């Protein structure tokens, strides 16, 4: 690998390779906006809540056979508050 040359001594193809193309300049702005809007996870808070409710709903009859409705509501209020 050769060392970085003096910009004044570059040949035409080497100089063109260092100049950004118009295509990259045009895509720079929109691409930056897309990257800014990216989220760390592909789902939101609402989707996670829906998933938890959907999974927990079938266990409700089982909980009602083990605990009375009053006990279950008291524990739910205690957890939420």
Q: What is the pLDDT of residues 25-71, one digit of tens each?
A: 566 677 777 878 888 888 888 999 999 999 989 988 887 888 788 88
| Phi, psi dihedral angles at 17 (to 5 degrees) | -70, -25
Please determine, for residue 81, whether its predicted confidence score (pLDDT) is greater than 60.
yes
Measured at the CA of 17, the angle between CA 13 and CA 23, to 5 degrees, comes to 125
Domain ranges of the chain: 7-37, 45-80
The residues, any chain, with a CB within 8 Å of residue 15's CB and separated by 6 or more, are 7
Confidence of residue 80 (pLDDT cuts 50, 70, 90): confident
């Amino acid at each position: 690998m050769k060392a970085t040359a003096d910009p004044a001594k570059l040949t035409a193809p080497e100089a063109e390779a260092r100049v950004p193309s118009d295509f990259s300049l045009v895509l720079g702005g929109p691409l930056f906006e897309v990257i800014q809007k990216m989220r760390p996870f592909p789902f939101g808070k609402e989707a996670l809540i829906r998933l938890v409710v959907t999974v927990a709903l079938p266990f409700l009859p089982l909980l009602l056979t083990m605990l009375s409705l009053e006990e279950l509501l008291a524990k739910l209020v205690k957890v939420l508050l």
